[in-house]
Structure 1
Amino acid sequence: MKYPVREGLAKAQRSAVHLEMRDSYTPDDPEFARWRAGHRYGNDPEKLPDWWGSWRDLVTETTARGVVMRRARIVSEPVTDYIRYEHDLTFANVAAGELVRWLPRRKAADLALPGTDLWLFDGSSVLFTFFSGIGEVVDREWCTEPAVVGLVSSAFEAVWARATPHEEYKPV
């Protein structure tokens, strides 16, 4: 399947959690370039990029089924421009139904964390995402091994417990 995250969300019955740990993604993203040139969303859904509509619809449909969607981002401070861009756009994730928290990397130093970003669905299957050094997705891999799922789940919960809700986090 071309979009395995969509597959995971379609099958999820209770929970979907997303752990993000990079300071930059998709460096050639034209929307990021527009943002860097001064475009801001201003909490206005009408200004969002075209791709946003399909993600919003997916999140809304998923959460309407009772699936709790949580996203935690571990970020270096001072934050990169890309993280400022993500923070500026995150109002839309929250409006669609996601719960989002931010954790400065310094506060995660003593946590055992997986080596890459991931999604965990219903506490039973993990979708790892592997990136190139500059932040492009190079592969994804599913894992249902109980020991790995347990590690991922406990890592996410530790991050979530320390992280700051989106509405309170101010990028430094």
Structure 2
Amino acid sequence: MPLVPFEEIAHLFSEFEHTAFRLETRRGYASDRQGARFQAFMRGTDPQPEPDHPWNVNVREKTAAGARFSRVRIIDEPPTDAQQFLMATAAGNIAAGEDIRVLPRGEAVRLALPGYDFWLFDSQAMVRMHIDDTDTTVGVELVEDQAQVLAACRARDAAWPLAVPTAEAWAQVRSSV
């Protein structure tokens, strides 16, 4: 399947019926590092929630209708600056209705989780993120092959019960710095 721009699959976030799950495997994302919120975070300013951000509006609408957004972020020990930023900003996503958890990288390796990011929609379709060495998303691939989708479901099911809520992990990280 050819790579397409992320915008070509964006409709899936409003069209899925039951579940949208994300596995995040990177040590950071270029889009975060380039943003003003990340720069302010690096100067010691806590990121403020953005309840009117289109992402959070969609999450609220979908969860109010009974759908579920969840994700597992793999983090290093200690977490990178970019991973700390993601934990710090998670509160806004969680307030909108997402369930975001973290899993230590060593545990992800032990579980043999995929080494790539993906979204899984209704356990029927997977969007594999293609990210280059600079942590920039260069395109996405819509995967409907049932063997690959099943592998993503298994990865989700292995990671989820071992991952801890982001707020718990973030509190531990903050108390150690």
TM-score (ref. length: structure 2)? 0.86
Tell me which moved more, 136-145 or 59-68. 59-68
The letter for the 2-side match of 1:30 is A
Give 1:128-147 correspondences, 5 Å limit.
128-147=128-147
Structure 1 residues 67 and 151, CA gap change in structure 2 (3 angstroms): same
Give the root-mean-square deviation of aligned CA atoms.
Answer: 1.8
Say whether residues 1:167 and 2:167 are aligned partners.
yes
Question: Per the alignment, in what secondary structure is the counterpart of residue 147 of structure 2?
Answer: helix
Structure 1 residues 19 and 59, CA gap change in structure 2 (3 angstroms): same
Structure 1 residues 111 and 4, CA gap change in structure 2 (3 angstroms): farther
Q: CA deviation at 1:55?
A: 1.1
Q: Distance in 1 between matches of 2:106 and 2:112?
A: 13
1:115 corresponds in structure 2 to: 115
Say whether residues 1:101 and 2:97 are aligned partners.
no
Query: Does the 8 Å CA contact 1:18/1:117 hold for their aligned counterparts?
Result: yes
Q: Which structure has greater helix proportion? A: 2
Q: CA deviation at 1:138?
A: 0.6
Query: Does the 8 Å CA contact 1:126/1:144 hold for their aligned counterparts?
Result: yes
Give 1:44-63 correspondences, 5 Å limit.
44-45=48-49, 48=50, 53-63=53-63
- Residues 11-59 of structure 1 show CA distances to partners (whole Å, capped at 9, x for unaligned) of 2111000110101101322321121122213xx53xx4x9x61111011
2:11 corresponds in structure 1 to: 7
TM-score (ref. length: structure 1)? 0.89
Query: Does the 8 Å CA contact 1:16/1:122 hold for their aligned counterparts?
Result: yes
2:46 corresponds in structure 1 to: 40
Question: Per the alignment, in what secondary structure is the counterpart of residue 127 of structure 2?
Answer: strand
Query: Does the 8 Å CA contact 1:5/1:119 hold for their aligned counterparts?
Result: no
Structure 1 unpaired stretches of 5+: none
Q: CA deviation at 1:160?
A: 0.6
Structure 1 residues 111 and 55, CA gap change in structure 2 (3 angstroms): same
- How many residues are aligned here? 166
Query: Does the 8 Å CA contact 2:131/2:138 hold for their aligned counterparts?
Result: yes
Q: CA deviation at 1:71?
A: 0.9
Q: Distance in 2 between matches of 1:21 and 1:4?
A: 22
Query: Does the 8 Å CA contact 2:23/2:117 hold for their aligned counterparts?
Result: yes
2:29 corresponds in structure 1 to: 25
Identity across matched positions, percent:
31
Tell me which moved more, 6-15 or 97-106. 6-15
Structure 2 unpaired stretches of 5+: none
Query: Does the 8 Å CA contact 1:108/1:159 hold for their aligned counterparts?
Result: yes
